[in-house]
Amino acid sequence: VLAQGELSLIRSIRARASQFAPPDLRLGIGDDCALIQVRPGEEIAVTTDLSIAGRHFQLDWHPPEAIGHRTLARGLSDLAAMGARPVAAFLSLGLPQERTRKTKAQKSWIDRYLDGFFALAHATGTPLAGGDLAQSPIAAADIVLLGAIPRGRALLRSGARPGHLLYVTGALGGAAVGLERLTQSASRAAVKKSPPRLPGKLDPLLAAHLIPQPRLAVGQALSRRALASAAIDISDGLSTDLTHICEESRVAAEIECGTLPIHSGSTLEHALHGGEDYELLFTAPPSVRIPRAIAGVPITRIGRIVRPRAGRATVTLLTPQGPQPLQPRGWQHFA
């Protein structure tokens, strides 16, 4: 049993979830199962993501609103990478009892977490359709996301072919520098009595880490307009996620170093290997004209897909000093 009272907590979550009930969701929280009816000719995309305190977020120095936002953003970014539109989210939380405790003056940690979660849910039209709550010695959040996509139109990692061009949305490396800044300021600060606030106006590097924006509109446009041959979201870093595309497509890739859209205030190293940018990396045949921006998000061509060759690295970085093999050393590198 949780401090706030499991039933009252579920009631408040249900009340917040029911403020948004799109037609796909025939039955949300309150019965044994949710009921979902997608449009004729659509198939369902499913993704799941587990976040654990101390590993994926820090209770001491991540604002709870940002943790809630990021729980949902991680799942939505996977839907974006397939070109799916969100249909329903299922959230399971394990929480130490004190995280549900509120005072007259202060919201509980869980209420602030849900503020961040529901703000992104409403902004992206994602209903919370169910989940679970349990007391746990370690805070953990598990999200399941369901998306819908016209049958056969999902963007897969396996569709890249030699000669296809390589594109990325937005800017890279911002989230990794934002995380470094947050870590440094946290280690300087004294132990805090309560979790930090999410400032009203965020530095763009901190925003890239704390409130990343999943590229749902771009992914759906790439699928609907049949622009991309393969796609992935950059959760683990460009070097690692491009290697995933190459392995699934059985191809190799070249990145032109000078073309990379490096986030202002970030570095080439962070743009190549820093994780959690949640931008989309995709390929397209050279005959397909890719717009400079989709849904207001800039698109940059950063290289091309080539035939794999024995003894040569899967990903090669083309620099003014000549080609260099690029090892996949994303997220873990910065862990």
Site string for Mg ion, 70-89 (x = CB under 5 A): --------x-----------
| Phi then psi dihedrals of residue 5, to 5 deg | 90, 115
Spatial distance between the Cα atoms of 208 and 221, rounded to a whole number of angstroms = 23
Pick 24 or 233: Cβ nearer Mg ion: 233
Pick 29 or 238: Cβ nearer Mg ion: 238
Using CB under 5 A, count the residues that bind Mg ion.
3
Nearest distance from C-beta of residue 257 to Mg ion, angstroms: 24
Task: Kindly identify the residues of this chain, within the stretch 267-326, that bind Mg ion according to CB under 5 A.
Answer: none
The DSSP secondary structure of 75-135, one letter per residue, reads HHHHHHHHTPEEEEEEEEEEE-GGGG---SSS--HHHHHHHHHHHHHHHHT--EEEEEEEE
Secondary structure letter of residue 62 according to DSSP? S
Which residue in the set 49, 233, 236, 276 belongs to the binding site for Mg ion (CB under 5 A)? 233
Instruction: Quickly list H helices, the chain.
Output: 6-17, 64-82, 109-124, 174-188, 204-210, 216-224, 238-249, 268-273
Nearest distance from C-beta of residue 72 to Mg ion, angstroms: 14
Residue 236 interacting with Mg ion (CB under 5 A):
no
Nearest distance from C-beta of residue 244 to Mg ion, angstroms: 8
Pick 49 or 111: Cβ nearer Mg ion: 49
**Mutual orientation of helices 109-124 and 6-17 as an angle, nearest 10°?**
20
Residue 158 tokens, joined: 């396996």
Nearest distance from C-beta of residue 60 to Mg ion, angstroms: 27
Pick 16 or 215: Cβ nearer Mg ion: 215
Positions touching Mg ion (CB under 5 A) are 78, 233, 235
